[in-house]
């Protein structure tokens, strides 16, 4: 089975000049790195957002986790992302190979604060890290995480979901 990509994940690592061509190719939306930790904002975020919106694409913003204080990360993410009511918000919960990692308990705190501050749930982007750590949560926190849309990061022909999930919102394969 061949899947047609419908959403593209980009950041400052991806040179972007024409998102109208992307929309014309059948892509529905862009999810862009907005921030990391408590002080990094992707320098291409605002310009790429405008290109995407001008092309009629859906827009999403993700925050790459660190072990820094969660409330400061949430505040920084919301300032950097400047979400409107249609912006998909995502916590990127994967290994931070260049710094400290958010614990799974901190990920729960991040998701709760996003919901408190915006009135809606964020999605969670993860693969093995969530699979390996979701079992460390108490039942209530595990159920709370599972209530969030999952953008599964798994590069294989068949997705293997974290315990408790029965489907994915998006699958980065």
| Contact call for residues 87 and 59 (beta carbons, < 8 A) | yes
**Rg for the chain (alpha carbons), in Å?**
16
Map residue 13 onto helix, strand or coil.
Answer: coil
Q: At what angle do helices 104-118 and 139-146 cross, to 10 degrees?
A: 60
Residues facing residue 171 across a β-bridge: 152
pLDDT digits (tens, 9 = 90+) for 98-146: 999 999 999 999 999 999 999 999 999 999 999 999 999 999 999 999 9
| Contact call for residues 60 and 41 (beta carbons, < 8 A) | no
pLDDT digits (tens, 9 = 90+) for 64-109: 999 999 999 999 999 999 999 999 999 999 999 999 999 999 999 9
């Amino acid at each position: 089975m061949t899947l047609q990509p419908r959403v593209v994940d980009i950041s400052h690592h991806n040179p972007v000049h024409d998102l109208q061509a992307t929309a014309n190719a059948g892509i529905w939306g862009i999810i862009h790195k907005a921030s990391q930790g408590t002080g990094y904002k992707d320098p291409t975020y605002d310009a790429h957002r405008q290109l995407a919106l001008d092309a009629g694409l859906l827009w999403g913003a993700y925050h790459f986790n660190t072990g820094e204080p969660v409330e400061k990360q949430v505040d920084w993410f919301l300032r950097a992302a400047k979400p409107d009511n249609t912006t998909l918000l995502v916590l990127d919960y994967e290994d931070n190979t260049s710094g400290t990692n958010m614990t799974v308990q901190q990920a729960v705190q991040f998701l709760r604060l996003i919901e408190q501050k915006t009135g809606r749930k964020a999605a969670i982007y993860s693969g093995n890290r969530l699979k390996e750590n979701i079992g460390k949560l108490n039942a209530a926190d595990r159920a709370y995480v599972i209530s969030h849309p999952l953008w599964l990061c798994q590069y294989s022909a068949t997705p293997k979901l974290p315990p408790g999930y029965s489907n994915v919102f998006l699958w980065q394969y």
